[in-house]
Chain A
Amino acid sequence: MINRPIPAPGVVVEDLDDDVCLYRSDIDEVLVLNQSAGDVWRLADGDRSVEAIATRLADVYRTDEATVRTDVQAVVADLLARGYLVELPAA
């Protein structure tokens, strides 16, 4: 169960068109997120849970929340595993 994701300290962020470019200088790695993954990133502010992010994006995309939740969970899990996000415990 992932709680509230937030950018890891030290991650440098730049928007590029609809994409989001992330850089971790500690491992010298660039990660480019496409628009949908970038939307998840932008909402991962430490205040929202994965559920809240999925609800918000389902509203924006006007689509089924269960489908969006699966995608959001996958993106957040990947970014946590890569060290671009960390998670705060549930409020």
Chain B
Amino acid sequence: MTTRPGAGMITLGVLGTAIAVRADVAAEFAELPPAEAPPAATVTAESAPVALAELTRLAVEHSPLLCIHAGVVSGPDGLIAIPGQSGLGKTTLVAALVRAGFGYVSDEALAVDRTSGQVTAFARPLALAADVWTLLGPDIGAAPPDGTERLVAPTLLGRVAPDGGVVRDIVLAERGRRDDEAVRVEPSPRGDAVPALLGRAFNHYRDPEGSFRAVVGMVREARVWRASYAQAPELAERLGELLGVHSAAATEAR
């Protein structure tokens, strides 16, 4: 069912579908493009964090794309997908990668066309907790009170990647057991990525066989890495070295 956006509403293009959001709330989602199509659903929440959660849920529900729970950034060779293992700290890791010079695609969803393998960006704001501020530096605004999160525009962290592209690297990351554990990144068999990605798909049930084939097709074209880390910026720096990405600060220092 489609609807017309009401007064004071703006329709955004999210995960290949159109969702209407209050205009004042949409102002906080500046990196999400407007959509011409009638909205498939409407978010009525007045609070940006609540609206963002609702927007994400509705977009996944209506998306024609295969949506996988993963962080996504861009590098020189294409996109890097990090499937969201439980307890990974995916948003923090994506934020650290963008700080390290990678382009921001999404902290939440890898949205893939099942046929072409092309990825649609979902550059929503990142909900970052107070304890992340010390990791990411002082120039991203005031830290929220302890135990809470604040939405941070991706442009405050670094560069937002242009829409499109295909996945060229898949990082199967896990947190180390100790805070002082050294970061490790090693090549991994491609087969390891298939259950990791399909197991975190939000909506593969709509076309299970097509989704499985799409995931294998994506993995076939990618390098797969297994990573273990304690601090997100350390893994971001290591991946930057490995994939040829340099932060603005590092580039200036050269």
A-side residues, CB < 8 A to B, are 12, 14, 16-17, 19, 21, 23, 25, 28, 30, 32, 34
Contact = CB atoms under 8 A, between A and B. Distances in A.
Contact of B212 (A17, A19, A25): A25
A28 B209 CA distance: 10
Nearest to B205: A28
Interface string B97-113: 00000000000000000
Interface of B: 189-192, 194-195, 198-199, 204-205, 208-209, 212-213, 216, 219-220
Given A14-B216, A16-B219, A30-B199, A21 B209 contact: no
27 contacts: A12-B209, A14-B212, A14-B213, A16-B190, A16-B194, A16-B220, A17-B190, A19-B189, A21-B191, A21-B212, A21-B216, A23-B198, A23-B208, A23-B209, A23-B212, A25-B208, A25-B209, A25-B212, A28-B204, A28-B205, A28-B208, A30-B198, A30-B199, A32-B191, A32-B192, A32-B195, A34-B191
Contact of A16 (B191, B198, B204): B191
Contacts of A25: 208-209, 212
A12 B191 contact: no
Given A23-B208, A25-B208, 16 more contacts: A12-B209, A14-B213, A16-B191, A16-B194, A17-B189, A17-B220, A19-B189, A19-B191, A21-B216, A23-B198, A28-B204, A28-B208, A30-B194, A30-B199, A32-B195, A34-B191
Contacts of A34: 191
A82 B192 CA distance: 19
A14 B212 CA distance: 9
Contacts of B219: 16
- Name A's interface SS: strand
Question: Secondary structure of the B side of the interface?
Answer: helix
Given A25-B208, A28-B208, A19 B198 contact: no
A13 to B, nearest CB: 10
A19 B219 CA distance: 12
Nearest to B192: A32
Contacts of B195: 30, 32
A12 B213 contact: yes
Closest 4 CB pairs of A and B: A25-B208, A32-B191, A14-B216, A23-B212
A40 B208 CA distance: 25
B166 to A, nearest CB: 17
A21 B197 CA distance: 13
B208 A21 contact: no
B208 A17 contact: no
Given A12-B209, A12-B212, A19 B190 contact: yes
B194 A32 contact: yes
Contacts of A12: 209, 212-213
Contacts of B216: 14, 16, 21
A19 B190 CA distance: 9
A14 to B, nearest CB: 4
Contacts of B212: 12, 14, 21, 23, 25, 30
